[in-house]
């Protein structure tokens, strides 16, 4: 066994590997860029080495610098994590050539499975089911168009070296094929240095189900059940679960056996994942093999009790896999929600900046401790006060829950999301909560098109079907009641000016660019009971009790005898006197006023937002990589105007209407801030 390992990665996965290494008694070495100088993985490691500037190509992708750090530190092995160089065969070979050990599969296995065209041909030889398509690199968009027509729409355009949703498009028309081919080439070239593209038939109403495999250097291979990864947005996974509620035991065994057969064909040694697309009739087809640890590996660890990182390290050290196929457990149900730095209320645009507050829910499971079952686990690489950068992936944490069955796991995840506090940046937590509350998700009736089908125009808070919308109003009234009760108890109040008991108030719900809604509420109790209130909203009574402090963001309490967790934000920038109530994916901004004050508030004019229709503004912070127009140029609606790169993704900005460019206000290569003007139209 090694005594010291280097983790050639950053963020959450670097921290995850460090956790297992420490439990195994191994010393750890971190590497970092200038942007990650104060990052969590640097603090957790025993020692750390600077690689270079923030951009990945100048730091985390520089093989020479990583090898140098390993040798300087005395590390005997390198764990690549996921992303970056984790599936780079040249890196794996270089590690071996330098006399170090790569904690992952051999470079020949990475080569065989890293090329999607070659891996599909190899899968066919191993009698693994494959999707019909064109398995050779396509040289031009025009040839891609001809192939797409021959296969029949819809088709999936994929970069041979793609991954993580990059270099992948689904095309339903000729125009989408031409545009998708070019976009995939650009993303693949920028992210992976390989712009080869191929096309295959897109299976409609598909499920994305993957099999976790584990193999040692002595020829022993097993599979550790499946993960359901069908809840995706733009081909990037959002929620994962294990096991799948869709496939039968017969299908599970058949998929597992094919995954093992494919792994044996490339003499696979380490943890790996074979991804399948599964049709309604349980027919399944090979998609690709990921020759690395997956982001969603914790759900497999939860139901099997196996520490996958530990076995990766042991296998790399030459140890035999002691687990037999018949011993693989499938206990309970696990979910993972990816907590991303993005604004779901602004079309999921990247959100960067300072983490003013970062307080995950209370956990009872930890990474690297598979014996801790049926609880909540948080894997993260960020800390409160840290900076979320434009240079790296948007995922800041993974929230994992494990429960005896699927419905209990869903409830546990909802409660954990309600208690997860992130401030300073936006996250997709409200959207995750909305997904978990959707009846079709709860019933298991979904496929990879679920988000596109049910949220076709994006996500808005009012789209969430809250179990009881009146509860949000009642909670606002409760908080105001508790505030007045505290004020009444303060000493030194002048006679005749002390706080009076108002049995009726009005909750004014503030809406974006719309007239507010007015909700009368009635208190059915006295002011001297600050921890409990009986509140009537729209004829329904809510008995709310909570011992949380008034300045707490997370409120733990009991509603009509049922425990709840919600979040309360005060001193909002738009209205310092307002409250923001968040629960179950829903949120409202409101004022709690007396009847007289509410009537006066009705007389206040609604301030119209500024007219920005003549400007193209940056919807996110990022790097301006392309400007397609010049001053005086006429543009048509739908025409490309600019491209912004943020968090390793290209974002194309299109013209909303016909017009003439008056001025270009930003230049290529400039780092843009959110809402910064790029173009002005005449």
Query: Nearest-5° angle of CA 339, CA 649, CA 652?
Result: 120
Give the CA diameter of the chain.
Answer: 91
Which candidate in 200, 210, 226, 288 is catalytic? 288
Residue 34 φ/ψ, nearest 5 degrees: -60, -30
- Which uninterrupted H or E stretch holds 507? strand 504-511
Burial class (CB in 10 A: 0-12, 13-18, 19+), 402: buried
The three-state secondary structure class of 318 is coil
Cα 131 from Cα 92, distance rounded (Å) = 29
- Backbone φ/ψ region at 258: left (φ over 0), alpha (ψ -120 to 50), beta: alpha
- Six token digits for residue 6: 């280097």
CB 147 within 8 A of CB 122: no
Cα 549 from Cα 669, distance rounded (Å) = 48
| Measured torsion, CA atoms of residues 416, 417, 420, 424, in degrees rounded to the nearest 10 | 170
- Six token digits for residue 436: 């978990």
Residue 143 φ/ψ, nearest 5 degrees: -65, -35
**Pairing of β 579-583 and β 540-546:** unpaired
Query: Nearest-5° angle of CA 661, CA 663, CA 668?
Result: 105
The three-state secondary structure class of 130 is strand
Cα 163 from Cα 236, distance rounded (Å) = 9
Give the list of residues 6+ apart from residue 144 with CB closer than 8 angstroms, or none: 138, 157, 177, 178, 181, 197, 199
Q: Which of 598, 344, 587 is nearest to 471 (CA)?
A: 587
Give, as one character, the DSSP assignment of residue 447: -
- Backbone φ/ψ region at 73: left (φ over 0), alpha (ψ -120 to 50), beta: alpha
Question: Annotated catalytic, 288?
Answer: yes
SS (H, E, C) 617-634: ECCCCEEEEEECCCCCCE
What are the catalytic residues?
288
């Amino acid at each position: 066994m090694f005594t010291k390992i280097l983790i050639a990665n950053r963020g959450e996965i670097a921290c995850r590997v460090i956790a297992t290494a420490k439990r195994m008694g191994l010393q750890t070495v971190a590497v970092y860029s200038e942007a990650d100088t104060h990052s969590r993985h640097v603090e957790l490691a025993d020692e750390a080495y600077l690689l270079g500037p923030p951009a990945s190509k100048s730091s985390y992708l520089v093989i020479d610098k990583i090898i140098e750090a390993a040798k300087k530190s005395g590390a005997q092995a390198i764990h690549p994590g996921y992303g970056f160089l984790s599936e780079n065969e040249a890196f794996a070979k270089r590690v071996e050539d330098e006399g170090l050990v790569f904690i992952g599969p051999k470079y020949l296995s990475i080569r065989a499975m890293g090329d999607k065209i070659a891996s599909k041909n190899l899968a066919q030889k191993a009698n693994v089911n494959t999707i019909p398509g064109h398995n050779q690199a396509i040289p031009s968009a025009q040839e891609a168009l001809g192939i797409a027509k021959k296969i029949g729409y819809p088709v999936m355009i994929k970069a041979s070296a793609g991954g993580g949703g990059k270099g992948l498009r689904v095309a339903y028309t000729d125009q989408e094929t031409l545009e998708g081919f070019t976009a995939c080439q650009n993303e693949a070239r920028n992210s992976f240095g390989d712009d080869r593209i191929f096309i295959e038939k897109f299976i409609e109403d598909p499920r994305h189900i993957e099999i976790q495999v584990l193999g040692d250097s002595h020829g022993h291979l097993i599979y550790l059940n499946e993960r359901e990864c069908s809840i995706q947005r733009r081909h990037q996974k959002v929620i994962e679960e294990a096991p799948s509620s869709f496939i039968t035991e017969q299908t599970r065994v058949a998929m597992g056996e094919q995954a093992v057969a494919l792994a044996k064909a490339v003499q696979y040694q380490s943890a790996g994942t074979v991804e399948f697309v599964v049709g309604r009739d349980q027919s399944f087809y090979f998609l690709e093999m990921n020759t690395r640890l997956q982001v969603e590996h914790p759900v497999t660890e939860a139901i099997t009790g196996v520490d996958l990182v530990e076995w990766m390290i042991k296998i790399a050290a030459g140890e035999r896999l002691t687990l037999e196929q018949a011993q693989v457990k499938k206990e309970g149900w696990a979910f993972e929600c990816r907590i991303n730095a993005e604004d779901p209320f602004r079309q999921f645009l990247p959100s960067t900046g300072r983490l003013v507050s970062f307080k995950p829910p209370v956990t009872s499971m930890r990474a690297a401790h598979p014996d801790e079952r049926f609880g909540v686990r948080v894997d993260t690489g960020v800390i409160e006060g840290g900076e979320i950068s434009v240079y790296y992936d948007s995922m800041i944490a993974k929230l994992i829950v494990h429960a005896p069955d699927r419905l209990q796991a869903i409830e546990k995840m909802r409660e954990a999301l309600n208690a997860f506090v992130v401030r300073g940046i936006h996250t997709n937590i409200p959207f995750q909560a909305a997904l978990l509350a959707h009846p079709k998700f709860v019933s298991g009736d979904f496929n990879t098109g679920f988000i596109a089908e049910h949220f076709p125009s994006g996500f808005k808070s009012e789209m969430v079907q809250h179990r009881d919308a009146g509860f949000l109003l009642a909670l606002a009234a409760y908080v105001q009641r508790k505030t007045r009760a505290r004020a009444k108890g303060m000493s030194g109040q002048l006679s005749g000016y002390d706080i009076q008991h108002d049995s009726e108030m009005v909750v004014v719900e503030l809406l974006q660019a719309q007239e507010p809604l007015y909700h009368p509420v009635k208190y059915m109790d006295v002011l001297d009971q600050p921890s409990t209130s009986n509140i009537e909203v729209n004829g329904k009574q809510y008995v709310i009790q909570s011992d949380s402090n008034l300045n707490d963001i997370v409120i733990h309490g009991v509603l009509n005898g049922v425990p709840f967790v919600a979040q309360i934000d005060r001193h909002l920038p738009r209205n310092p006197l307002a409250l923001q109530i968040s629960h179950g994916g829903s949120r409202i901004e409101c004022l709690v006023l007396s009847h007289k004050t509410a009537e006066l508030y009705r007389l206040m004019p609604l301030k119209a937002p500024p007219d920005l229709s003549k400007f193209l503004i940056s919807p996110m912070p990022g790097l301006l990589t392309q400007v397609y127009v010049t001053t005086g140029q006429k543009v048509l609606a739908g025409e490309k105007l600019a491209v912004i790169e943020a968090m390793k993704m290209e974002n194309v900005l299109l013209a909303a209407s016909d017009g003439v460019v008056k001025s270009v206000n930003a230049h290529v290569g400039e780092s843009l801030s959110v809402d910064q003007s790029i173009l002005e139209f005449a």
